[in-house]
Structure 1
Amino acid sequence: MRAQKLTIAALALAAGLALTACQNDDAAMGQDTSANGSSSSSSSSSTGGSGSGGKAAQGSAKESGGTKADGQGGSEGTGSDTNNGTEKCRTDNLDITAQDTTITGEDPRTVAVTFMNAGGHDCVLSGFAGVDLKTNAGTISAQREGNPADATVLKNGKSVSFYVSYPVNDTGGSGVRITGLVVTPPNETKSVTLTWPGAGSLPASDDAAPVKVGPIGSAGQGG
């Protein structure tokens, strides 16, 4: 899922214009329900620790309950299956969850996203997941941060996590309201939409730090 990349300030301006144009619309469009629910293995779906210490890549075979694969998968949906025919991890076979892992006083804040293999067989996972924040004014695509870990065989029933970092809204204003988290596993095109577990808004400023995503294994210890 490829989302249009917009600056937070541009989103805030768009939100203000949209609000003025739609004051008397009686909420005809209804409430966005795409972010409802907190856990899914195929269409909507959180665990894993992060915080400041969770950002060091920890995507080892041990942490994801498996062994290193023969090659390193990509993250644009073009990677091939590796490790003696072990298939890549498919969206439909992953239980995808997210939780707030911010340490008090930390800036940027963090959310950990976890992939648990619920497919009944081992699969290969590597690189970066696609991460987009849905907001009241548009979609923000997270920027990749760090180097991807080696491809890893994720054992059935085991999990691995990565972090999403985002700036604190300490401007005193409402900022840009976050309405959902869209996650696309590496080498996949099918996404899931999760309830956003972090702070409710981003600062509406060009000076604000961007939203970033770490590589697979960059948060928590897996399980």
Structure 2
Amino acid sequence: MRVHKVTFAALAVAAGLALTACQNDDASTDQSKPTAAPAVTTAPSAPPAPSTSSATSTATSTATPKGTAAPAGSADGGKTGGKCRTDDLTITAVDRTIDGDAERTVVVELKNRSGHDCSLSGYAGVDLKTSAGTLSATRSGEPIVAGVVKSGKSTFFGITYPANKSGGSGVRITGVVVTPPDETKPVTLPWPGAATLPVTEGGGTPVKIGPMGSAGQGN
């Protein structure tokens, strides 16, 4: 019986060692296998903040552009094309005498045909061509008013002169020469008024003119 107990104890010890060895082998085997990396959840990244230079470029590109300055040399902001020249105008003259007036009247029309607005003010030069030579008109003394003649529109001034009531011969008028204000190029027109002027003593000039705008179509 003692031999059996020893043998049983030895078997128990051997069995225990064998079980321990098996457990160690299993542990070694498990350790030799690669260990999977733990899963990592990454939060979505926020968009990067714009750099200072980018923000500056955006602000610059969306800024409201400044207004365009008027062309140089145009004191009125480009609204007119300067002074009206003779070649800018169609000049005509018509009789506008009203019955009962002490003086007779011829109205001169200056129509802007330039295609742009232009300024025209002051007194024109007016010379009557007569049988006795050239007779220059004198200014009436009315105040000058600055004005702009729009494209296609007109301004007017009047020529006044006395009627020839002598019943005899007088100074025969053959034409009228008109030079616009601030111009040197004249235009010669047929004379639409009375055929003669009375002869005046002392050689004075009985013909007077008003400034631009001093007469109209109905005057």
TM-score (norm: length of structure 2): 0.61
- Are 1:202 and 2:197 matched, yes or no? yes
Question: Is 2:84 the counterpart of 1:103?
Answer: no
Partner of 2:151: 156
Structure 1: which 4+ aligned runs deviate by more than 3 Å?
Answer: 81-86
Write the distance in 1 (CA, Å) between the matches of 2:205 and 2:133. Answer: 18
Whole-Å Cα distance in 2 between the matches of residues 83 and 110 of structure 1?
35
Matched letter for residue 97 of structure 1 = T
Tell me if 1:219 matches 2:219.
Answer: no
Q: Quick check: 2:122–2:212 contact (8 Å CA) kept in 1?
A: yes
SS in 2 for 1:96: strand
Structure 1 position 221, deviation (Å): 6.0
Q: Is 1:83 equivalent to 2:76 in the alignment?
A: yes
- Say if 1:114 and 1:162, in contact at 8 Å, map to a contact too: yes
**Relative contact order, higher structure (CA 8 A, sep 6+):** 1
Query: How far is the alpha carbon of 1:183 from its aligned partner?
Result: 0.3
Q: How many residues align?
A: 142
Q: Give 2:38's aligned residue.
A: none
What are structure 1's unaligned runs of at least 5 residues? 1-80
**Superposition deviation, residue 107 in structure 1:** 1.9
**Letter of the aligned partner of 2:199 in structure 1?**
A
Give 1:84 deviation, angstroms.
4.2
Higher helix share: 2
1:112-135 per-position Cα deviation (integer Å, ceiling 9, x unaligned): 001000011110000101111000
Distance 1:153 1:209 in 2: 31
Counterparts of 2:85 and 2:104, CA distance in 1: 29
> How far apart are the structure 1 equivalents of 2:75 and 2:110?
19
Three-state SS of the structure 2 residue aligned to 1:92 is helix
Task: Tell me the C-alpha RMSD between the 2 structures.
Answer: 2.0
- Is the radius of gyration larger for structure 1 or structure 2? 2
| 5+ residue gaps, structure 2 | 1-73
What TM-score comes out, normalization by structure 1 length?
0.60
